[in-house]
Amino acid sequence: MNHIQALQQFEALIQAPTPDALHAQLTDVVQNLGFEHYLCGLSANLNLPDPKVFALNGVSQAWWDHYQTRSCLAVDPTVRMLLREQRVIPLPWWDIRCINPSEKQFMGEAVDHGLNSGVSFSLNARHEVGVFSLILKHQPRQLRRHVSHAIPLGNLLAAYVQEAARRLMDNQGNPGSKLTRREKECLLWAASGKTAWESSVILNISERTVVFHLTNAARKLGVSNRRQAIARAIVEGLIRP
């Protein structure tokens, strides 16, 4: 498959109307790249009680169930290196260094489930993070050559998958707009260290009204006080101090 054809196939991904359609197209693309499976986990507003999680599963159901029920996110070394350590360049699996027995065990279990080798890419945007992996079930003759050759297009594919996933997620409703303009303004000034009285002077409204908006904002954000509301609004990208 040459580059131009691949690009056209990638462009088609972001038009996918449903996750199922995306999965079908992606399975095809991944096989054209010389891989058997893929795995995509994307989370907007990570570490929140209600993260929007988008997962596409191109591997065996057994492995996926195992991953979820055992909360393998904490022991998955690709997640650690790409998300927590913020590695932005591709991660071929032979570069993975396990830092504790749990990670080692996890990788062993992956091999047992047929995830023999592969390469993982980091998905990053302002308020979302994720991992996209291309996976080989069987080890080919020249593993490193095979994988390395696919890295440039794989890296590009990761970006397209992220774009496609976001479009699908956006269609499912946008909680960012749940705050009114005033509520965001009050939160913004509160995040800048202003008291309710100071904000009232700035916004030319009464102190009581500032308190009113902050209270409402906190309620909408599902938290119980002002500090937490500020933290949540920043993490969700609703305000930019």
Closest distance of CB 51 from DNA, Å? 24
How does DSSP assign 108-177, residue by residue?
Answer: HHHHHTT--EEEEEEEEETTEEEEEEEEESS--TTHHHHHHHHHHHHHHHHHHHHHHHHHHHHHT--GGG
Minimum Å gap between C-beta 144 and a copy of itself is 9
Torsion of CA 143, 38, 175, 70, to 10 degrees: -90
Q: Give dist(CA 107, CA 133) in Å, integer.
A: 14
The one of a copy of itself, DNA, none whose footprint includes residue 162, by CB under 5 to 8 A per kind, is: a copy of itself
Asked if 172 is part of the footprint of a copy of itself (rule: CB under 8 A), the reply reads no
The 56-85 site mask, x for binding a copy of itself (CB under 8 A), equals ------------------------------
* Of 107, 190, 217, 238, the one binding a copy of itself by CB under 8 A: 190
Phi-psi region of 157 (alpha: psi -120 to 50; beta: other; left: phi over 0): alpha
Instruction: Rule CB under 8 A: say whether 43 interacts with a copy of itself.
Output: no
C-beta of residue 223 within 8 angstroms of C-beta of residue 233:
no
Contact between 47 and a copy of itself by CB under 8 A: the answer reads yes
Question: Which one of DNA, a copy of itself, none interacts with residue 124, CB within 5 to 8 A by kind?
Answer: a copy of itself
Answer yes or no whether residue 26 interacts with a copy of itself by CB under 8 A. no
Q: Interface with DNA by CB under 7 A: which residues?
A: 180-183, 190, 195-197, 200, 203, 205-209, 211-215, 218, 224-227
Query: Does position 143 bind a copy of itself by CB under 8 A?
Result: no
51-84: burial string, b at 16+ Cβ within 10 Å, e else: ebebebbbbeeebeebbeeeebeebbbbbbbbbe
CA distance 55 to 30: 16
Answer yes or no whether residue 97 interacts with a copy of itself by CB under 8 A: no
| Least distance from a copy of itself to the Cβ atom of residue 193, Å | 3
Task: Tell me if 153 contacts a copy of itself by CB under 8 A.
Answer: yes
Q: For binding to a copy of itself (CB under 8 A), which residues are involved? A: 3-4, 6-7, 10, 14, 47-48, 86-90, 123-126, 129, 145, 148-149, 151-153, 155-156, 159-160, 162-163, 166, 190-193, 223-228, 230-232, 234-235, 240-241
